[in-house]
Chains A and B, each alone.
Chain A
Amino acid sequence: MVVAVTIIFSLIFTLIILLLVAGSYHRSVVAMLGALLVIAFGGIYSVFFPEDALSYIVRNADTILLVIGSMILCEALGRSGLFQFIGLSMVSNIGKSIRWFVAVMLVLTVTLSAFLNNITAMLIIGALTLSLERKLELDLSKLIVYEAIFTNVGGLMLMISSIPNLIVAGEYNIGFSRFATICIPLVLLLTVVSLYPVLKQIRSIEPFKEGLEFDPWSVVKDKRVFYRASLIFIVVMILFILHDIFPQIQLGLIAIAGATAMLILSGEEPESIFSDIDWGTIFFLVSFFVIIGAMNDPRVGVLTSFADSLSNVFVAIPGLAYFLNLWVSGIASAFIDNIPITITLIPIVNSLSQSLGLNREILAWSMVFGANLGGNFTPIGSPSIIIAMGMLKKKGINISFHEWIKKYGIFPCIHLLLATLYTILLVVI
């Protein structure tokens, strides 16, 4: 009976993963179908019930609230013009050097994606690049590609930079400061290393004929709203940092409180902000928590038996699990959304750390590094790359799958290698 249940649930899980890879249906629909299937078959075999599904959602409520709160905050902040203002301020008056301009644009990309989700960061930086392209009468298509790659580097920087970061921080109770302390040095290293080949390519290009001068305030519709939104954002960041000292203040609650303050003070219609929230991701997240909750349930035993088999493989060299975790999550992220990868790997990581006596947090870091950086392997690996490809397509430029891997595949390889070395450093320290 137990074997039959494990086989049936394994088949359901495989079906869900295949549907996610195929991309034939929206990921939220696939996850909702998966959640319904595990509840239905769980009921038939009396191993998993709707109340179990609810308990998995409640267990992850803080992460879900954190994601919703961050989305509302970012949406309202984006409308206040804060990030557009930062972008224009950084690029304005930078002189006539193209190398300096490209370096500033890429550093700006990393900065924006640290505070915003990668989609919004790419939309802002892409819009800025295309506008500057018109002004400067230059072809900045290559820069758009590099920006897409750099958004995934920036997405590793802070706990709030990407959803996998939020999930891992919630699961392993990693605070905002701790997250930043571990990830910022790696992001700085990756940024510097990645900038080198990009800047080397443009050594021969002549400088701009005229400098870039414009008024960054022109993107701010209402200065009062701008100041209020900036203040709320700063307060939320301070509260996130304080969470490390006062862990009783839950991160999800801080994000929701910030979102509520933003909805009251931003001057925007809440209905209009809600309509721009990515509800699909939230439904996907909630449903996938149910699926993984069922798969990890000892009565179902899909992930537990998989983790046991993995433990047997790693028993000779347990330390190898850190690096395999990083590369598996990295390579899988090139083809599948990094959210399901992270949620799936968490119970496996927990089981491996227990059976092999490995450091849980370092396993979590290797998972975060892989999930964020692996998206750069393919043109479908991350939403920011897909958006960049869309922008290029509009300009009549098509980069094929093979061309992407050939030209830009070197970046994620270097990133994952450096992340591996960094993980070794974390293990040694």
Chain B
Amino acid sequence: MHTFTFGNSIYNLVGRDINLSESGIPKKFEEIRTEIEKAVIPHITVKISMPEGVDKEEFLKLEEDEEFLQALGDFTKRWLKKRKSERI
């Protein structure tokens, strides 16, 4: 029982240590991860301003909307194809 308490109290430190390290480590990790992720899964981040006359909450939800993201992906494909044919 004593060991259990000891173990748990030390384990709690793990969570605290991670919070303590928030000074730099998680930020650095996110930077490295973003860089590597761009190489592994190439992607772009675009900013879409909220069009007039739409519901703000509904608009903000689009960021996580799989169907919307799929439609954007399809649009991107069509856009690039069109660009290419225009150049030729």
- Chain A residues packing against B (C-beta within 8 Å): 23, 26, 78, 81, 84, 87-88, 119, 123-124, 126-128, 130-132, 134-135, 214-216, 218-219, 276, 335, 378-380, 386-387, 389-391, 393, 400-402
Contact = CB atoms under 8 A, between A and B. Distances in A.
Contact of A387 (B10, B25, B37): B25
B8 interface: yes
A87 B10 CA distance: 33
A123 B32 contact: yes
Interface stretch (B15-23, B49-57, B58-66, B78-86): B15-23
A123 B16 contact: no
Given A84-B32, A135-B41, 17 more contacts: A23-B16, A23-B17, A78-B32, A87-B36, A126-B29, A127-B35, A131-B40, A131-B41, A132-B40, A134-B37, A214-B39, A214-B42, A218-B38, A218-B39, A219-B39, A387-B21, A401-B10
B33 interface: yes
A123 B28 contact: yes
Contacts of A215: 39
A84 B36 contact: yes
A264 to B, nearest CB: 23
B72 interface: no
B33 to A, nearest CB: 4
Given A88-B39, A402-B4, A379 B11 contact: yes
Given A23-B17, A380-B14, A393-B15, A84 B29 contact: no
Contacts, number: 91
B10 A380 contact: yes
A130 B37 CA distance: 9
Interface residues of B, number: 28
A215 B41 CA distance: 10
B10 A335 contact: yes
B64 to A, nearest CB: 15
21 contacts: A88-B36, A88-B40, A124-B32, A126-B29, A127-B29, A127-B36, A128-B40, A131-B41, A134-B41, A135-B40, A214-B39, A216-B39, A218-B39, A219-B39, A276-B28, A378-B10, A386-B18, A387-B21, A389-B18, A400-B7, A401-B10
Contacts of B16: 23
Given A23-B13, A127-B32, A401 B39 contact: no
Contacts of A119: 25
Given A123-B29, A131-B36, A390-B18, A218 B42 contact: yes
A379 B29 contact: no
Nearest to B15: A393
A380 B17 contact: yes
Most buried by B among A87, A216, A276, A380: A380
